[in-house]
Amino acid sequence: MPSRINKNIVTAGLVLLIVLGGLGIYYALKFRVGANEFAGMLQQGFDINSGTLVVKGAFKSEKNPEISKIRYIVNIIIDKDTKITRVEVVLPTPEELKKTNGFYDGSKLERRFSQGSLEILAQDLGGRARPVNIFVTAKGNIYGKDSFVASEIKYEISSR
């Protein structure tokens, strides 16, 4: 009789562990933070041979907007499949700025989109005094990773 009670206790314990484990996995999958976008500013120069950008910024997620408050430094790897888009933001001329007392709405500035490449990116980033905004999309969840391959990169440079 005592061995039957021990078997029942062990069986109940195993069932409880399986149920708790299943609930833990369900919770982790349902409520995990996920992001496949990153936006920030270039931190260092770009070496065309390594194909890696060092960017300080934030992960972006519609489901978890609060994650964009935390800043990270990540290595963004550009491979042969990465699509690069160059966005040239046309700044107001000194004459236009005089008319507005030096103020302008950045969202209303003209933007010229063109296909980029590693070579164009290296030329654009070489010797720039102004910060370069980088917007990255990747396949899969990249949240919390310090290095990942970009499927698409958009970068903004300014001109007059």
Q: What is the pLDDT of residue 34?
A: 85
Q: What is the 3-state secondary structure (H, E, C) of the chain?
A: CHHHHHHHHHHHHHHHHHHHHHHHHHHHHHCCCCCCEEEEEECCCCECCCCEEEEEEEEECCCCHHHHHCCEEEEEECCCCCEEEEEEEECCCHHHHHHCCCCCCHHHCCEEEEECCHHHHHHHHCCCCCCCEEEEECCCCCCCCCEEECCEEEEEEEEC
Q: What is the pLDDT of residues 89-111, one digit of tens each?
A: 999 988 988 988 988 888 899 99
Answer with the residue of higher pLDDT: 40 or 24. Answer: 40
- Beta pairing partners, 14: none
Place of tokens 């070496």: 47
* Average pLDDT of the residues in 27-38: 74
What Rg value do the Cα atoms of the chain yield, rounded? 25
Q: Is the pLDDT of residue 1 over 60?
A: no
Number of neighbours of residue 150 by Cβ within 10 angstroms: 24
Token pair in block for residue 103: 């103020």
- 105 beta partners: none
Residue 67, token pair as written in the block: 């994650």
Structure confidence at residue 51 as a pLDDT band (50, 70, 90): confident
Six token digits for residue 94: 């000194």
Is the full-model pTM beyond 0.75? no
Q: Are 140 and 39 in contact (CB under 8 A)?
A: no
Q: Residue 74: what pLDDT? A: 94
Average pLDDT over residues 26-55: 78
pLDDT at 55: 92
Residue 73: pLDDT band with limits 50, 70, 90: very high
Q: What percent of the chain has pLDDT over 70?
A: 86
> Token digits for 155?
């970068």
Could you state, in order of their start, the residue ranges of all structural domains in the chain? 1-32, 37-159
> Within a 10 A sphere around the Cβ of 97, how many other Cβ atoms?
13
